[in-house]
Amino acid sequence: MNAKVLLRIATLAIALFDLGHSVGGMLVAESHGPEEDALLASLAAYRFDMMGSTRSHHDFYVGEGWFLSAALTALLVICWQLSSATAESPALVRRVSLVLALFFATSAALCVAFFFVAPLVCSVVAACACAAAWWRLRSPA
């Protein structure tokens, strides 16, 4: 497989991660019962000053969720743009592909430690596809 196809595969994996997180995790997430509802209410009730703004841990929880959605959207656009630049700028695409591979490998490790299988699979696919693109774009010896 050439680097362009590999980066398009990574883009698809990132898009699935983004869609699952944004829709399933942020827009239509359902309660898992009264214990979770009480916990989230407690997180929202405790407010504190953070650098001149009054916030709660719930604000951070929701804000970081949306921040991840925005970051994943940016990463999938970057990955798609890179896939279109493999012929014109192979050295640049190679360097950025390595950064993306390392990012998604780290994401996979975090999914193992703190999350679950769906984002893990998307992260592994994206990391492997970006790493393979990096390898394919190496200079001939």
pLDDT at position 29 is 85
Query: In the numeric block, which tokens belong to residue 15?
Result: 């898009």
CB-count exposure of residue 75 (10 Å: 0-12, 13-18, 19+): buried
How deeply is 85 buried, as exposed, middle or buried, from its count of CB atoms within 10 A (0-12, 13-18, 19+)?
A: middle
- State whether residue 79 is helix, strand or coil: helix
How do the pLDDT tens digits run along the chain, 141 residues long? 999 999 999 999 999 999 999 999 999 988 899 999 999 999 999 999 999 999 999 999 999 999 999 999 999 999 999 999 999 999 999 999 999 999 999 999 999 999 999 999 999 999 999 999 999 999 765
String of DSSP letters for 33-75: -HHHHHHHHHHHH-EEEETTEEEEHHHHHHHHHHHHHHHHHHH
| Angstrom distance (rounded) from CA 22 to CA 27 | 6
The set of residues, in sequence order, having a beta carbon less than 8 Å from that of 85 and lying 6+ positions away, is 92, 93
Q: Facing residues of 50 across strands?
A: 53
